[in-house]
Structure 1
Amino acid sequence: MPHPLRTLILGGARSGKSRHAESLVLDAAGMARARPVYLATFRPWSDAPDAEMDERLRLHQERRGDAWTTVEAPVGLPRALEDHAGAPVLVDCLTLWLTNLLLDEADLDAAFGALDRALAARAAPVVLVANEVGLGLVPETPLGRRFRDQAGFLNQRVAAVCDRVVFIAAGLPLQLKG
Structure 2
Amino acid sequence: MGKVILVTGPARSGKSEWAEILAMQSGKTVVYVATATENPADEEWHQRIHKHQQRRPQDWVTLSVPMELSATLADAKPNTCLLVDSLGTWVANLLEQDEVDWENTLSEFLETVQLVAADMLFVAEETGWGVVPAYPLGRRFRDRLGSLVRQLGTICEVVYLVTGGHVLNLSVIGSPLPAPKS
- TM-score, shorter chain, exceeding 0.5: yes
| Residue 12 (structure 1) aligns with | 10
TM-score (norm 2): 0.87
For residue 111 of structure 1, the aligned residue among 101, 105, 118 is 105
**Matches of 2:131 and 2:60, distance apart in 1:** 36
CA distance in 1, matches of 2:131, 2:16: 24
State the AA in 2 paired with 1:12.
P
Contact 1:85–1:121, Cα closer than 8 Å, also in 2 = no
1:72 equivalent to 2:70? Answer no
Superposition map of 1:1-178 within 5 A: 5-28=3-26, 30=27, 34-44=28-38, 49-86=41-78, 87-103=80-96, 105=98, 107-178=101-172
In structure 2, runs of 5+ residues without a counterpart are 173-182
Q: What TM-score do you get using the length of structure 1 for normalisation?
A: 0.89
Cα offset, 1:66, TM superposition:
1.0
Contact 1:5 1:122 in 2 (8 A): no
Displacement, 1:170? 2.8
Cα distance, 1:113 vs structure 2: 1.2
The alpha carbon displacement at 1:65 in A equals 3.4
Number of residue pairs matched by the alignment: 169
Q: Which whole-Å deviations, capped at 9, do the CAs of 1:25-78 have from their partners, x for residues lacking one?
A: 1111x2xxx32000110025xx66111110000000010031210011110001
Change (3 A) 1:53 1:104: farther
CA distance in 2, matches of 1:103, 1:23: 33
2:102 partner letter: L
Secondary structure of the residue aligned to 2:143 is: helix
Q: Which runs of 5+ in 1 are unaligned?
A: none
**What amino acid is the match of 1:27?**
Q
Runs of 4+ in 1 over 4 A off after TM superposition: none
Deviation per CA, 1:111-137: give whole Å up to 9, x if none.
111111221112121110000011121
Q: Deviations over 1:87-118 (max 9, x none)?
A: 11100011100000113558111111111122
**CA-based RMSD:** 1.7
SS at 2:151 equivalent: helix
TM-aligned CA distance change 1:11 to 1:156, over 3 Å: same
1:97/1:37 Cα in 2 relative to 1: closer, same or farther (>3 Å)?
A: same
Once the two structures are aligned, what percentage of the paired residues are identical? 37
> Which letter maps to 2:53?
Q
